[in-house]
A and B are shown apart, each in its own frame.
Chain A
Amino acid sequence: MTTPADARTDEEAFAACLAGRPVPAGAQGLAAFTDAVRSSATAPGRPNAALAELLATGLLVPTQEPSRGTAGRPARTSRKRPHVLIPTLVAKFAAAGAVAKAAAAGGVVAVALTGAATAGALPGQQDTAVVESSDTIDTTTDEPTGTTDGTGDVTDEPAAGEPAAEEPVVEEPGTEPVVEEPVPVVEEPAVEVPVTDPAPESPETSEGGKPTDQQKFDRHPENPGRAASAEAHQRNAERKAERAVQPEAGTPEDEGTDEVLEAEQAPVVEQSAPAGHGKGNGKNGK
């Protein structure tokens, strides 16, 4: 059994063998082993063919010098040479069929027209643009005197003597249906209520530019409340006419009419009251 002392002796003997010093007495076998190992590795190996060729001819070390043809030139991104591109395109065009040629020519013409239009090089393009812009400016400056709102309801009235000013307004696609529709609607209340509102259109519309109730009402001829409102106006006009005919004599009929009026107006008042109470938390009445 090997003790630690033997192991230490072995290591010392091994170090002595490696250094060429005399070994201790008990380590002759180790020294013999070391010598035998060294003596077994004295002859060089037999090189194979590749190594023999390398030993005979050496190794060609690649130089780092660049070639003369590419030195100092930047790397070309495209493999095609620029002067070859145009003849290639011409040759391909000539070799193409008739349909392909027509399609290519059409494409070229379309691209050219598009480019010219974009650059503004087409004849007469700049003149029309300037005239149209000036016309629109004129219309906008002249309109406020005659129109009451932006919809152009009263455009027929100030049809003064400027046909050039009205043309761009008519040309606008958004304004045409708005101008034509209200025309018959405006005529109806003007005929039905001549007594109550003698001048519904002229002063208010021209001054503040705000539409009157009648005009707002006329904008929506399809409104179902319009008929009821017209009837109410008619009754009010008849009542006023009756008052004018019967001078302030307190007849029972008048009281009856007043009651009727109050009865008619009462729901309006009752409706507004709960609306006001509804804004609170429901504790106002208590």
Chain B
Amino acid sequence: MATGPAFDDVLAAAQAGAAWAFEVLYRDLSPAVTGYLRLHGALDPDDLASETFLAVFRGLAGFSGDEDALRSWVFTIAHRRLVDDWRRRSRRPQLAEDAGDLLPETPGGDVEDDVLTRLGTETVHRLCAGLPADQRSVLLLRVLADLTVEQVAAVMGRSVGSVKALQRRGLRRLRAELEAAGTPRTGEASVTTGTAGAPLVARPAMTGAR
């Protein structure tokens, strides 16, 4: 965390309601939280992130712990808000914005170079959308929130073994997606996979699944 050794002071000021401490915590945690919500396909990730931080700041007076504990707690609230958003959207279906976020069709070449050049923001969104919700949550919490397997298990309310299994299956699936994205190297026409044409909205498997 960017707050560094001054974390205790920042936390004490935030627990006292100081605006500057809120600002410091928000600047430090908001990008990861917003990115986590956005890559999960939240309809309004900024609003969800705002609701998350409002809950964090209002409940901060009763928090006790170090910097890692605070990060884990913030992502726990964010994950619950996300699940609530999935459930709301399952009751009120949203229109899918099929913007044609597909992997760009490129001619053949070196796989690694192609992947590195192709993986833009939208491609990352599509790859994440191709993962089941639980596997996506595990991978994003490991990458974005920099949480350990145990912390991820606590955030998702699962066992450590279950989180490890979800991570293993998610990496396997991601590898398959990346290999499929590299298939043009062999001269085949298209790179689309079974899920390549899926819109970047929540799938039925994402709604309510933990």
Contacts and interface: CB of A to CB of B under 8 A. Distances in A.
Given A18-B143, A41-B144, A33 B31 contact: no
A41 B53 CA distance: 16
Nearest to A29: B178
Contacts, number: 135
Nearest to B179: A29
B19 A36 contact: no
Interface in B50-83: 50-51, 53-54, 57-58, 61
A7 B172 contact: yes
Interface in A30-83: 30, 32-34, 36-48, 50-51, 54-61
B75 to A, nearest CB: 12
A59 B125 CA distance: 36
A201 interface: no
Interface residues on A, range: 35 or more
Nearest to B147: A18
B54 A50 contact: yes
B189 interface: no
Given A29-B175, A32-B115, A48-B47, A38 B144 contact: yes
A14 B168 CA distance: 10
Interface residues on B, range: 35 or more
Interface stretch (B32-40, B90-98, B100-108, B197-205): B32-40
B22 A47 contact: no
Nearest to B178: A29
A10 B142 contact: no
A18 B111 CA distance: 22
Contacts of B140: 37
B182 interface: yes
Contacts of A45: 30-31, 33-34, 45-46, 49-50
Contact of A10 (B115, B119, B125, B175): B175
Contacts of A32: 112, 115-116, 119
Given A18-B146, A33-B124, A58-B19, A44 B172 contact: no
A33 B49 contact: no
B135 interface: no
B35 A41 contact: yes
Contacts of A17: 143
Contacts of B47: 48
B143 A38 contact: yes
A36 B22 contact: no
Interface string A1-37: 0100011001100100110000000001110111011
A82 to B, nearest CB: 41
Interface string B6-46: 00000000011111101100110011111110110000011
- Label chain B's interface by main secondary structure: helix
Contact of A36 (B36, B45, B123): B123
B143 A34 contact: yes
A51 B50 contact: yes
A56 B19 contact: yes
Contacts of B20: 58
A18 B142 contact: yes
B146 A2 contact: no
Nearest to A46: B46
Contact of A59 (B22, B123, B128, B171): B22
B60 to A, nearest CB: 8
A2 B46 contact: no
Interface in B105-149: 111-112, 115-116, 119-121, 123-125, 127-128, 140, 142-144, 146
Contact of B22 (A6, A34, A54): A54
B156 interface: no
Given A41-B35, A45-B45, A47-B26, A33 B174 contact: yes
Nearest to A40: B121
A36 B125 CA distance: 10
Nearest to A18: B142
A35 B112 CA distance: 14
A33 B39 CA distance: 12
A4 to B, nearest CB: 10
Nearest to A37: B143
10 contacts: A11-B171, A29-B178, A33-B178, A37-B39, A38-B144, A41-B32, A42-B35, A44-B27, A48-B50, A55-B23
Given A29-B175, A55-B26, 14 more contacts: A2-B172, A7-B171, A7-B172, A10-B175, A28-B115, A29-B182, A33-B178, A36-B124, A37-B144, A47-B26, A48-B46, A48-B47, A51-B26, A58-B19
Closest 3 CB pairs of A and B: A41-B35, A45-B34, A58-B19
